[in-house]
Amino acid sequence: MILNQATDYAFRAVLYLSLLQPGEIVEAKVISESQHIPLRFLLKILRSLAKAGIVKSYQGVGGGYALGKKPADITLKDVLEAVEGPIRINKCLIDPDYCNKQATPHCPVHYVLASIQQTIAQEFDKYNFEQLKEHMKQN
């Protein structure tokens, strides 16, 4: 399982916004330059994050982006799913019709993969951006 580049950039953008003062608005260009994220790609990512309520978008003069929630209320899972959709490690876990054996309910492989998927989701959900922010302050 490899996270896509957009998710990596989304993590960095949300962490950057987490380090700002609550309610502080910053232009996408500033995020792009400070995090070395191509601006056009970042704008697409920020739209996904805004749709999920993770960031807020402000239009017009003085516009830009700010967190839509407190850093403690945003998990890595929230960001990952905003960009990539639900965590799924195999097609049969998305839709039983993908199983070429049509055996999803009693397939030991499906059972184990579902357990692994649940563990991965729980791990991503365990870490929030307040924790990452505090970790940065320590280093």
Q: What is the pLDDT of residue 103?
A: 62
Query: What does pLDDT average to over the chain?
Result: 92
By the 10 Å C-beta count (0-12 exposed, 13-18 middle, 19+ buried), 1 is classed as exposed
Q: What is the pLDDT of residue 102?
A: 67
By the 10 Å C-beta count (0-12 exposed, 13-18 middle, 19+ buried), 122 is classed as exposed
Q: What is the pLDDT of residues 43-75, one digit of tens each?
A: 999 999 999 999 999 998 889 999 999 999 999
Does the domain spanning 5-138 belong to CATH 1.10.10.10? yes
For residue 6, what are its two tokens? Answer: 């957009």
Q: What is the pLDDT of residue 94?
A: 78
Least confident of 19-23, 95-99, 118-122: 95-99
What are the E-state strand segments in the chain?
55-58, 64-67
Q: Domain residues of the chain, as ranges? A: 5-138
- What is the average pLDDT across 72-89? 95
